[in-house]
Structure 1
Amino acid sequence: LHRAIAGDAFHDSADRFPLPRCHPETRTKLLDSLCKWSRGVQPPRSSAILWLHGPAGSGKSAVAQSFCQHLQNDGRLGGSFFSKRGHPSRGNANKLFPTIASQLARLPQCRQSISQIVENDPSIVDRSLVNQLHELIVVPCRQSRLPHPVVIVIDGLDECAGNDVQQELLWLIGNAVSRERLPILFLIASRPEAHISETLADPPLDTTHRPLDIEQSFEDVRIYLQAEFSRIHRQHRTMDTVRYPWPSSQIVQHLVEKSSGYFIYAATVIKFIDDRQFDPCQRLNIIMGSMEDRYSELPFAPLDQLYLQILSSVPIRFHRSLLQILVAIHAQLALTVSDLEPLLELDEGDVELTLRRLHSVISAENKHSSQVTVYHASFLDFLEDSSRSGPFHVGSSQCRTNLSLHLLKAFSCRNGDPSFNRQEKLAW
């Protein structure tokens, strides 16, 4: 069994150091809710699967990590698997169930059963996912006499293998918990990708899971920033002459607003400022844009990499329509999907197909009534800076001119101006 596992996917793996976890005094309500669920206090036990979802950078992994620690302290951690896109083992779906089984085997009630199964059939780790789940997880848990349910935490499902495999994993888990009353619960964390939410809406998952949105929390971001700035002020030798509190409450408020209530922006800011080779005050000034960046390092490189990765997931054939949509979103025109298609002269369905892979950064819940907006204010900053967004830059004069022409044409057509040809599409 050991040869088939991804030990670096454990919640306490050295490979993942430094471990992402919630800062003390943040996400307290969410973690309390998760702990109550794990103990059967809320919601009803029928919710054997909890889907923790939220946009990229909203702190799902930190919540999952902190929850694992709570479970371990409480004696309720069955196993964990923290996926990572492109990683040879953490991104390999075939290692998921063997990895979970190896952790379940630490429990005295499951150890003998799992050992016997692997000893009788060593090739089980090379079999199909359905066989692995049944033999390595379902059978041992069914035979065990666990005093209480244990929780299996799967973080980053959207980063594991491909879409089809992710859907298969969900269906297999949902089918297993719906057919038998097993002493196991599943917390599955992922971005709100369309194929995942659609799978969870179908039987048997529609009745066995409960969605839990990782909400924005401006106050939690404020607590995190204030605590981290205080630590930097104490620890950096260059800060001895800087008066405390540092920085001002106005600067902290500005950063909180920029974060849109999500931790990725705040964490990126702190990571950039907390560099022992530079003066924290100068680094903060770079962030605030009040002085020229004399360094080659870009403050938001990790954030940019994340946004580029998400945008690049859109198939090339949709890149033209993607740029048009991004320009319109950046202009904050408060339009719905139904508004965008005629305005940008796109074929029906093009906007939905283009945005299908962007649910982690762009909100477009209802085609006719919901405005297409971004989750992170930092995403708009990224789009308008050509050095950061590259091919997805929306601030060029050509982009602005094209959008203006589309708006003018739409307005003129609505008012019956014959000088505009309704059949002639504008080129981008």
Structure 2
Amino acid sequence: MTGPFDGAHHFKTGDNTFVTVGGNYIDNRTAPPPPAADGARQLLKPYIAAGSLHNSEDRCDAPKCHPETRVAVQDSIVAWASHDALVDDSNPAKDILWVTGPAGTGKTAIAGSVAETCSELGMLAGAFFFSSFSGDARRRLKRYLVPTLAYQLVPHECFQGASREVELAIGRDPAIFELRLKDQVEALILGPLRASRRSIAPFLSIPKVVIIDGLDECEAPPSEVDEPATGKHIRKRREAPRTNEDEQVEILEALLHMMNEPAFPFRIILFSRPDPSIRRFFSRPTTRTFPEIFLNGKYDPDSDVALFLRAKFAEIRLRHPALPTSWPSEDVIRLLVQSASGQFIYAATVIRSGYAPIRRKHPNPLAHLDMLYTSIMNRCPDPRLLATWITIIAKKVFADGYVTDTLGWKLLDVPRPAFFWRALLSSYPGEADALLENVSSLLAIPPRDDLKTKFHFYHRSFEEFLSSRQRCVDLYISEKTRTSLLIARCVHVLKARAPECALTEEEAVDFYNTFSVVVVQSSLLSGAMANLTPASKADLLACDLPWWMQTLCKVPGVSYQGITETSGCGLISGWLDDLHMQCNPLFCHPVCKHWRRGAECFARADGRYVPNRRWRISAAVIAIRRTIGDRRSVAHRVWPSGLAIPYEKIALDRREEPHVSL
């Protein structure tokens, strides 16, 4: 008897496959349908950034923590990630850990190592590693974040019910990938998780953590982009351009939205620099503060850097047996650790470029480090002005402590707190915040109401970078440029009797005490006279001299030529002497005359002693004595005219008129 399928073989009906083996025997096999996750992942794949996955090919050479380094901080992070959240604790902040720290401290290496550990323990639900230096533009754009996280969630066995929901969401709205992040999160992550929550078997293990690294490297999209699904080049225009900070804050808002959802079972570990927009987000008032790990000296980075260097040098010696076992010496390692300042990128750059004996040396062995510094500085609206500010702040002439100049000034310890530089250098209120907030990963910036704490550079190599024209190129600031800005700001303060920023009474006292000493110590009046313009001349002639003389007399802790005057009015002599330094040996400049007369009028009105004009001898004598360095023959003192005076005459006239001198 024949049938309708006589002679047919290897054909399918539905999910059944019929294979004729022999005679009347037929093998009927049922093929399982493809996993639901595969369908969802195929739909998501064109919209993900595959290079951002923790185990992607893009990241095969990405930095990881060297064995036995950064152990304490890794253990702290993994322990936090594995700790079960309290059921009765509804505060969403508990589930976001912010790991931050200065640039170059190894945040990405720690994130990569923690991701590997969590993956091995079955704790990793998903990860996204932003990178502004990657050749793949998708790794620096927010639009790929949510699809990439969803792509990693759907294969987990405990979320099989979510896969179908992802497919349905994309089918309902194929343009979901063009919507704002909050809507993408709802459609591709939270909605599917709600649907699958009821079907999760109790015996299935649920991953615990999502890791996002380099949030500060997320950038605003360019005006021209490639459309993910087709690869077509599309020009996009926005009514208002988005900034990098706008993109980063939107990501943070989306993460917090996920934390507010009970169906979202994960903790999030976020790695980034302490950029201002991110810091402000985590500083917002909440029921409980967000947990934070700041990578500073608490975790003993110097020991880890030393361990890393010794291990890498050992590898180099193995590759080059001719090197002695003592290479390099412990002194060299200690010097490198000191220069690194806890900065792993510095140590890695040294190994990569500076200590490969056979490798041809790069013209700039610190190019990787310089690229990092340049990219951070260029985020500022005015990078060159920022560089000028930083070099002024870092200049050694403003270091604290006792300073004695060639004229015999001895200035007691006068700190230069951050608030002083903010007030002095700002040309309009708020300028300091606008400039400095962009380098918070390179410079420790005290709060605005802190009147004592100074700026602190996280890395010594950053100061070295700015001082080298070859390394910082367009950001190099010459001595002339730096001095010109400082003099201009000081002349403004002299004319206006105040900086641009409004000061409280307490701030004003600290500011004027510091300003009065800085003017003398840095010879700013002499510099102003050397580069006098009609505008600055008019400003100096318009100064309120009696007010400034009175202010100078209130500054404590100043001695002049070994004679301490409790009133502090010795600063008047220093200011006038500084003005006089640029005068012609035969006659004084009008500004110098104006200030000297003002000082003399103030002294007489205040009952102070004014030196007789017969004491004034040519300024050339000072120049000669400075040149030959001969101070033994005739002891001398510089008075408001800036000229030398024999001590014998000072003593004689003091006996005649026993008044306190200027």
After superposing the two structures, state which structure 1 stretch, 384-393 or 355-364, moved more: 384-393
Residue matched to 1:187 = 269
In structure 2, the residue matched to 1:157 is 215
Count residues in correspondence.
400
Could you say what the CA RMSD is over the residues aligned between the two structures, in angstroms? Answer: 2.7
Shift of 1:202: 2.0
- Is the Cα–Cα contact under 8 Å of residues 100 and 292 in structure 2 kept in the other structure? yes
Tell me what 1:89 maps to.
138
- Answering whether residue 466 of structure 2 is matched by residue 383 of structure 1, we say yes
Alpha-carbon distance in 2 for matches of 1:259, 1:164: 33
Partner residue in 2 for 1:232? 316
Q: Deviations over 1:360-381 (max 9, x none)?
A: 1111122333311211011011
TM-score normalized with structure 1 length: 0.85
Q: Hey, what's the Cα distance between the residues in 1 that align with 2:187 and 2:395? A: 51
Tell me the residue number matched to 1:373.
Answer: 456
Name the residue aligned to 2:433: 352
The aligned residue for residue 425 of structure 1 is none
For 2:56, the equivalent position in structure 1 comes to 13
Bigger mean CA offset, 351-360 vs 170-179: 170-179
Amino acid at match of 2:369: L
Q: What is residue 177 of structure 2 aligned with on the other side?
A: 125
CA deviation string 1:169-218 (max 9, x = no partner): 111211321342631110111110011110122256x7373111122410
Deviation at 1:92, TM superposition (A): 1.3
Contact 2:154 2:163 (8 Å CA) reproduced: yes
Give ranges in structure 1 of 5+ residues lacking alignment.
280-294, 422-428
Residue 150 of structure 2 is matched in structure 1 by 101
Asked if structure 1 preserves the Cα contact closer than 8 Å seen for 2:127 and 2:211, the reply is yes
Structure of greater relative contact order (alpha carbons < 8 Å, 6+ residues apart):
1
Question: Any conservation in 1 of the 2:376–2:438 contact (CA below 8 Å)?
Answer: yes
Cα displacement string for residues 267-294 of structure 1 (whole angstroms, at most 9, x for unaligned residues)? 1001114647428xxxxxxxxxxxxxxx
1:243 pairs, out of 310, 318, 324, with 324
Give SS of 1:89's match: helix
The answer to which structure has the higher helix fraction is: 1
Kindly indicate whether residue 143 of structure 2 is the aligned counterpart of residue 61 of structure 1: no
Cα distance in 2 between the residues matched to 1:322 and 1:37: 39
Tell me which moved more, 210-219 or 337-346.
337-346
Distance 1:321 1:255, change over 3 A: closer
Structure 1 112/2 Cα, relative in aligned 2: closer, same or farther at 3 Å? Answer: farther
Mark the CA change 1:173 to 1:383 in structure 2 (over 3 Å): closer, same or farther.
same
SS in 2 for 1:209: coil
For the 8 Å contact 2:70–2:110, the answer to whether it is kept is yes
* 1:351–1:326 CA distance, 2 compared to 1 (3 A): farther
Matches within 5 A, 1:414-425: 414=552, 415=571, 417=575
Taking a change above 3 Å as real, the CA distance of residues 366 and 215 of structure 1, as seen in their structure-2 partners, is same
1:392 aligns to what? 475
Normalising by structure 2, we get a TM-score of 0.56
Q: Give 1:199's aligned residue.
A: 281
Calculate percent identity across the aligned residue pairs: 29
CA distance in 2: counterparts of 1:202 and 1:358, whole angstroms:
21
The superposition leaves residues 318-350 of structure 1 with CA deviations (integer Å, 9 ceiling, x where unpaired) of 733541333322436463332113443633332
8 Å Cα contact 2:387/2:476 also seen in 1: no
Query: How far apart, CA to CA, are the structure 1 residues paired with 2:387 and 2:170?
Result: 50
Unaligned runs of 5+ in 2: 1-43, 220-243, 400-414, 491-517, 526-547, 553-570, 580-590, 592-662
Letter in 2 for 1:326: T
Q: Structure 2: how far apart are the matches of 1:410 and 1:246?
A: 45
Q: What amino acid maps onto 1:80 in structure 2?
A: A
Find the residue that maps to 1:347 and give its secondary structure: coil
Shift in Å, 1:147: 3.4
**Superposition deviation, residue 138 in structure 1:** 1.9
The aligned counterpart of 2:369 is: 303
1:362–1:373 CA contact under 8 A, matched in 2: yes
Quick check: 1:253 aligned with 2:253?
Answer: no
Relative distance call for 1:208 and 1:106 in structure 2 (3 A) is: farther
In the alignment, which residue of structure 2 is the partner of 1:287? Answer: none
Cα distance in 1 between the residues matched to 2:338 and 2:193 = 47
Residue 328 of structure 1 contacts residue 403 of structure 1 at CA under 8 Å; is this kept in 2?
A: no
Alignment partner of 2:162 out of 94, 101, 113: 113
- Specify the SS of the correspondent of 1:207: coil
